[in-house]
Amino acid sequence: MQFDVTALEPATLVFIGTMIFAFVLAAFVMAAAFVALVFVGIGKLIWTIVVAILMALVHGINHLWDRLVHHASKVELPSDLHGQSGSGTGSYSRVALKDS
């Protein structure tokens, strides 16, 4: 038994065609939305990784700087470097710096 399309009214054919077009259009919109969500997710993942790397880098620099400052505070100056009183009005004494 074959289905005879010519037996349908033109209004029925227009309705069926409209529904097929609506389903195709809806599928396209859903596929585009899914692709957009995938791109947003990938972008968020990349941004999270970049932020984590930068925060780890800043934390490492701060940690190294803290270690350097604590180490420098424990180092005793040689006896040939003494504070000098300066002619300035500041409250800090002048320090003679030695070349490395």
pLDDT digits (tens, 9 = 90+) for 16-54: 999 999 999 999 999 999 999 999 999 999 999 999 999
The reported pLDDT for the residue numbered 81 is: 54
Query: Distance between CA atoms of 28 and 22, rounded to whole angstroms?
Result: 10
10-19, 68-77, 82-91: which is most confident: 10-19
User: Contact at 8 Å (CB) between 68 and 61?
Assistant: no
- Is pTM beyond 0.85? Reply is no
- Please, what is the end-to-end C-alpha distance for the chain in angstroms? 101
Query: Distance between CA atoms of 89 and 85, rounded to whole angstroms?
Result: 10
Q: Which uninterrupted H or E stretch holds 54? A: helix 10-74
Q: Which uninterrupted H or E stretch holds 37? A: helix 10-74
